[in-house]
Amino acid sequence: MYSADHKHISADTIAQLQYKAKKKSLVFAYILWLFLMPTSLHRFYLQPWTNALGQLSLFVLGITITFFMGEDKVIFGLIILSIWGIWVLTDAFRIPGMVQKYNTNLISELAGLGSEESLPPIQENMPGWAKAWIEDKSKGRKSTSPGEETPSSDSETR
């Protein structure tokens, strides 16, 4: 693996490559959600895995009670499965935000910024993409992924 002081690769380039290698894909998260919903793999993929364990545990508990604990407990098992189902269905709407949060936190981590809530002042030794990201966040603009250009409006160019 290259270090930041490698002669031919800048720290900026290394950070961008690390981001591209570690970022999460919205399409892949939806594929996991759609085809492997009972396993909660979409949540394991997007982290935190503790939520994924909770979701998976509800599913396993609901199935176990519904089909293996006797007829008198079927209603209780179906209630648990209903709670699980509502949680998983709401994930369909939450996945884009979970992907964006993960990728934003990854940018912060790679730039050495900490969490996205605490934006540090721009420093000279920061990579260029990190400086641009901090400027965008501090001005309230929607930030893009590292390496992508931020579209500018006509009012900004005047």
pLDDT digits (tens, 9 = 90+) for 30-42: 999 999 999 999 9
Contacts 24+ apart (CB under 8 A), 96-104: 96/26, 98/29, 98/46, 99/24, 99/25, 99/26, 99/29, 99/46, 102/23, 102/24, 102/46, 102/47, 103/23, 103/24, 103/145, 104/143
144 compared with 59, residue with greater pLDDT: 59
Task: Using pLDDT thresholds of 50, 70 and 90, give the confidence band for residue 143.
Answer: low
pTM of the model: 0.65
What's the average model confidence in pLDDT over 102-117? 75
